[in-house]
Amino acid sequence: MDSKQNGKRTLMDYCPDIMIMDCTMRDGGLVNNFEFTDAFVKDLYQANIKAGVDYMEFGYKASKDLFDPKEFGKWKFCDEKDIRAVVGENKSSLKISVMADVGRCNYKKDILPKKDSVIDMIRVATYIHQIPAAIRMVEDFKRKGYEVTVNIMAVSKVNTDDLDAGLSLLASSSADCIYLVDSFGSFYPEQVTKLSQKYVEVAEGAGKIVGMHAHNNQQLAFANTIEACRMGACLLDATVSGMGRGAGNCYMESLLSFLKNPKYDEMPVIRFVEEHILKLKAEGVVWGYDIPYLLTGILNSHPSSAIHFINSNRTDYCRFMQELLDVE
């Protein structure tokens, strides 16, 4: 990591260690019930390759015992055959990722040995109290031959002692990467500075890297992502036009144009917006910054109430804020 000086990067650095993860289908799938057209998926795959994106997350590996496949698009389950229908043997520079939630994935059965799969990376999403269960999954996936990350969700609600203990457990695990996740879009950049430093310190001591996954409730997803990057995070999540639950994520277009490594090119992604995202929005698929998400972000709350508010076509924001405060 020649590009870092004292753990901080500068704007003009080339930074060959930085990698980008496109999670449009995974976080965006939460918006449209994972019902992407085949053309959308194939074109996104090609756009990511052309743009120099490093990883593309196709969706979740959700348990079919817990979730009825008739009620969701296929990318909630990411069957091997469905991924292969898009990527074949994936003879490309783009690696393939899926997400496995602790407690919602039949991982012993549904995650094949790597030699039988076109998937490269499994990302384990966990709450802080599930970390021991997450580590059991990590070790299983590593034994099977995958790259593995652990994404600790909702850390903005976790106290420092618990977070330190969780990070320490993960440092001793076989995970390749630990993710800083701003689930509620409640962090300001200076909080990201400190948390990134903490994560990087723990991870580097254990030979791991740090990832960043931001939400846009306060229109800070991009700013927080590049701040984490500046402090040493290497694996940066983004989605096309920020598509993702509620206020959505860091915009891929912005992130690609920010990075100075010439392997990245935002134009294939912008062309994808022209061809697919505008249509999706015209069809009424809704995500992105709006006042209800700002309010849940300010209060460090789960966005579900804001999603419900917007889906109900309500615009009485002040009353909504009072409802949120009543619950807090």
- To its own copies, the closest distance from the beta carbon of 167 in angstroms equals 22
Residues 258, 265, 285, 323: which binds its own copies (CB under 8 A)? 258
What's the closest the beta carbon of residue 21 comes to its own copies, in angstroms? 19
- 115 and 91 Cβ atoms separated by less than 8 Å: no
- Is the Cβ–Cβ distance between 220 and 248 less than 8 Å? no
Binding of its own copies by 46 (CB under 8 A): no
- Residue 321 binds its own copies, judged by CB under 8 A: yes
Q: State the minimum distance, in angstroms, from the CB of residue 239 to its own copies.
A: 14
Gap between the Cα atoms of 221 and 247, Å rounded:
9
Q: Which of residues 222-251 bind its own copies (CB under 8 A)?
A: 222-224, 226-227, 230, 251
Could you say whether residue 283 binds its own copies (CB under 8 A)? no
> What's the Cα-to-Cα distance from 119 to each of 54, 81, 98, 148, rounded to whole Å?
13, 11, 7, 11
* Binding window for its own copies (CB under 8 A); candidates: 75-83, 149-157, 168-176, 314-322: 314-322
Determine, following the binding rule CB under 8 A, whether residue 196 of this chain makes contact with its own copies.
Answer: no
Task: Point out which span in 102-110, 121-129, 197-205, 268-276 binds its own copies (CB under 8 A).
Answer: 268-276
Total residues interacting with its own copies, rule: CB under 8 A: 38
Decide: is 189 part of the binding site for its own copies (CB under 8 A): yes
Is 317 one of the binding residues for its own copies (CB under 8 A)?
A: yes
How far is it, in rounded angstroms, from Cα 87 to Cα 130? 33
d(CA 284, CA 266): 25
Query: Least distance from C-beta 198 to its own copies, angstroms?
Result: 16
Cα–Cα distance measured from residue 53 to residue 24, given in angstroms and rounded to the nearest whole number: 12
Q: Residue 215's beta-bridge partner residues?
A: 249
Dihedral pair phi/psi, residue 150, rounded to 5°: -120, 125
Q: Which stretch binds its own copies (CB under 8 A): 63-71, 74-82, 150-158, 252-260?
A: 252-260
Residue 223 contacts residue 212 (beta carbons within 8 Å): no
Binding to its own copies (CB under 8 A): which residues in 104-133? none
Cβ atoms of 269 and 253 within 8 Å: the answer is: yes
Other beta carbons less than 10 A from residue 88's beta carbon:
10
Q: What residue ranges in 19-146 does DSSP mark as E strands?
A: 19-22, 55-60, 95-101, 121-126
Give me the least distance between CB of 296 and its own copies, in Å please.
12
Beta carbon of residue 276, minimum distance to its own copies (angstroms, whole number): 12
Q: Which residues bind its own copies (CB under 8 A)?
A: 10-11, 188-191, 216, 218-224, 226-227, 230, 251, 253-254, 257-258, 266-267, 270-271, 273-274, 278, 291, 294-295, 298, 315-318, 321
